[in-house]
Amino acid sequence: MRALAALILALALGGCSASGFEMIVDLRSDLRPGYDFVVVRTSILEAPDPSVEGLRRTLAAATTDDYVTGERVAELPELPAGSYLIAVELLDGASTVVASRRARVDVHGPRSVSIVITSECFGVTCPGVGDPTGATECSAGRCVSPECTADNPDACGIGGCATDDDCPSIVSCSVGRCTGGACFQAPDDTLCAMGTYCDITDGCTPIPVMDAGPPPPPDAGVGTDAGSPVGTDAGFDAGPSCDPAACDDGDPCTDDLCGVGGRCVNPPRCGAGEYCEAGACWPEPSLSVTTTDGFGCADLGVDHSSSARALWRRVVTGRPGRTFTQYNQHVGCGDPATPAESHALDGSGRFEDESLSGASNDCDNAFLGRYAAYVDVDGRTSGTIEVTYFNSRCPGISTCSAARSYCPPCRDCGASEYCYASTSCAPLPTLTIATTEGGGCADLGTAHASPAFLWRRTVTGRPGATATQYNEHVSCGGPVTAADTIVLDGAGRDVASNENPVSTDCASPFLGRYRAYVEVDGETSATTEVTYFNSNCPAIATCALARTYCAP
């Protein structure tokens, strides 16, 4: 509900700048005001300042308006300089958009733009077959770009009319006129019998009858008026004068207008791509993801480490300042959609990011396959988009098409697991070496007999796998060498220990600090260290002394 008279200031999503330029929008149309449409809504869809996007004006159309010649439908003040995409929509009494036109307008000073909506575009869908993808609007029955306006005919291409002779009358009560390269059907009601009017597609048509009671919907809708008997008067009178306040339907998400004949018109307050909450219009959430590899396909086998070749770029829009949650679904695996991440939209209701990654040889990557995604903002969801991850280096999933139905067999592997033979998850190998002396220190100068031990080694990994232990004599700067081969049992485990007698060999090559790790199926464990010292040898009598010792 908003009590509005002729020109209504509708909601602006955010404020305008304190200074700027005025844009005046005029409409020319051969559709009949009061019959074909009762409301004209003008909106800013795109603007250099996002806070201006969503600014709109709503105007009630009267039968006395002359849209063939042109009527002013919006005055949009204080606009920052730049490029704007505006939309003019014509709504009928049921608040249905019956015709619309978008236009790209450059504002670098006070600007007037004339929008043309004609019957020539009835039934025309743009872009048509063979039209450029940017030819989204209809002008003179042809698909053109939004840059095409009566004020910018150069953007309209070749076509349209040149004189009135190029515009034949469609019905007997209309006259074809050529205006700005477009044919108008100028209706002439005097050519119709009393009680009828000129419809530009059906010809002379009975005038809708309006009763003398209050404006609908409160009245009974009786089909006779208060004038002379039907057939002698026009059959259509104004009834009582209309007060917009009397048209309040109690819905804060509609505008309240006086229409033709004192009838109330309550068009939706918000336009396409918006929703209404407590009388305020907010943009519906949207999610778009573009990939450098195109067509919603992302190749993990190609380098995407620079912004110029990002793996993907994501743009989320919605209600400014709110938080969105993205839901992902691995379609190839038949998974349900689950929340993946959340981020805040900025003051203009926008969030942008990109993914950078180097080329990968990992054919077991859990991200491979086809995903569907959407975002949720305050319980309102965007449309669903899809991205398919493939790897041109991996047989079987080297193309986007092949990856669409792929489900990674190891996608559920945890952080401590790896994908074995591209079929199953296996535990990553581990190596631990305990010593009786503790702290990774082993004294060769002390006897170690069970239950004591010089060291005890525990290796874990894939059950039944063969593990190779690699050692490096760090204090001697020695190379890494394979030292032992270990077969893990059915539980994926092997435990071994070493006992020793007392040693007095102060030149033993085993003295010093060692680093070790194990490898299973090409996967390596973390490294562990052991330092061998000899409490019987003064130069290496402690673990600390032996850490840097290398036998001569």
Residues 6+ apart with CB under 8 A from 508: 444, 532, 534, 551
pLDDT of the residue at 209: 64
CA angle 163, 137, 295 (to 5 degrees): 145
DSSP string, 40-85: EEEEEEE-SSGGGTT-EEEEE--TT--TTT-EEEEEEEEEPSEEEE
Read off the pTM: 0.56
Closest by Cα among 299, 250, 258 to 279: 250
> Is residue 419 within 8 Å of residue 525, measured between CB atoms?
no
H or E element at residue 324: strand 323-330
Q: State how far the Cα of 199 lies from the Cα of 220, in Å rounded to an integer.
A: 27
User: What element of type H or E holds 101?
Assistant: strand 97-107
40, 47, 286, 313, 435 from 184: Cα distances, Å? 18, 31, 38, 45, 97
How far is residue 469's CA from residue 525's CA, in Å, rounded to a whole number? 10
CA distance 371 to 20: 45
111-117 and 21-29 strand pairing: parallel
The DSSP line for 359-378 is ----TT-TT-EEEEEEEEET
Report residue 47: phi and psi, to 5°.
-150, 155
Query: Which domains are assigned to the chain?
Result: 7-191 (2.60.40.1120), 284-408 (2.60.40.10), 424-546 (2.60.40.1930)
- Residue 98 burial (CB count, 10 A): 15
Q: Do you know the residue count of the chain?
A: 552
DSSP 8-state class, residue 140: T
- What pLDDT does residue 137 have? 94
CB contact set of 185 (below 8 Å; sequence gap of 6+): 30, 118, 119, 167, 169, 170, 171, 174, 175, 176, 177, 200
In tens digits, the chain (552 residues) has pLDDT values of: 443 333 333 333 333 344 689 999 999 999 999 889 989 999 998 888 877 887 888 888 888 899 999 999 999 988 999 999 999 999 987 888 899 999 999 999 999 999 999 988 888 999 988 889 899 999 888 999 999 988 888 888 877 788 999 999 989 999 999 887 888 899 999 999 998 999 988 999 998 765 444 444 444 344 444 444 444 444 444 444 567 777 888 888 888 877 666 677 788 888 778 898 888 888 899 999 999 998 999 999 999 999 999 999 999 999 999 999 999 999 999 999 999 999 999 988 999 999 999 999 989 888 899 999 999 999 999 999 999 999 999 999 999 999 999 999 888 888 899 989 888 899 999 999 999 999 999 999 999 999 999 999 999 999 999 999 999 999 999 899 999 999 999 999 999 999 999 999 999 999 999 999 999 999 999 999 999 999 999 999 999 999 999 998
